Amino acid sequence: MKNVFVLFGKPGAGKGTRLEEFLKGRKDEFDVLSVGNLLRNARKNETELGQKAAYYMDAGLLVPDDIIIEIAIEGLKNATKPIFTDGFPRTVSQAEALIRAGIYPLVIEFYVDDEVVFERARDRIVCKSCGATYTLSSFDPPKKEGICDNCGGELGKRSDDCDDTVRNRLDVYQKQTYPVLDFLGKFGIRTFTIDNYEPESASRLFADLVLSSL
Ligand code: AMP
């Protein structure tokens, strides 16, 4: 198995955005396991997995561990390149499964305050086809309104980006996800934290960290 980089942080802390930037021009060198994107695709294709996940996702809750662990561990074991996980592990049980599978990742946490998470969720639009993210504000808008620059897909709000759901997701993060760092620490797995307020310096730090760990 190749290097595994766990991207950690509150939902909406900007993990996916930093990763998209890093992968520009490097797409062939890395794999990505994004559990959220896998689940959104499953919903779009109306598979059994998608139908099971929909309720939890729209409520801002985590999808049950047994469903997630199976798809995530299989994806990681099959990786043939260094791989990033965006959104796994999100519970101590998921982290246990990682250790049981003999996977000792490098954990990179992106940190922002809760208020920034709310602001970003209000501002975020995503491609319904490929998952690329843009903003409604002038920060990172698509070239053509409502259309994805990457694939021409339709842009829209994520169903879980409303204030109530974001509040639930932050609460779930604090109670169920944050303890993962302590748990992994017991196995000697350190966390590198990057403040994700200023995109350029965060991106630089992130790239340095990943490239120096290969
Ligand atoms: P994300 O795009 O990573 O914010 O994920 C969107 C939603 O998918 C989350 O709010 C959860 O409902 C579900 N999800 C993503 N990753 C996991 C995970 N590791 N464990 C459980 N549910 C997850």
Specify the long-range contacts of residues 158-165, CB closer than 8 Å, at least 24 apart.
158/124, 158/126, 159/57, 159/58, 160/57, 160/58, 160/60, 161/121, 161/122, 161/124, 162/121, 163/118, 163/121, 163/122, 164/60, 165/58, 165/59, 165/60
Radius of gyration of the chain (CA): 16
Per-residue pLDDT of the chain (214 residues; tens, 9 = 90+): 579 999 999 988 999 889 999 999 999 999 999 999 899 999 999 999 999 999 999 998 999 999 999 999 999 998 999 999 999 999 999 999 999 999 999 999 999 999 999 999 999 999 999 988 899 987 789 999 999 999 999 999 988 899 999 999 999 999 999 999 999 999 999 899 999 999 999 999 999 999 999 9
pLDDT of residue 118: 96
Paired with 125 in beta bridges are 134
Ligand 1, atom nearest to 60 Cα: 10
Are 42 and 53 in contact by the 8 Å Cβ rule? The answer is yes
User: CB under 6 Å to ligand 1: residues?
Assistant: 11, 35-36, 39, 56-57, 60-63, 68, 87-88, 90, 94, 160, 169
Look up 124 and say whether it is catalytic: yes
Measured in Å, residue 140 CA sits from the centre of ligand 1 at 24
Look up 157 and say whether it is catalytic: no
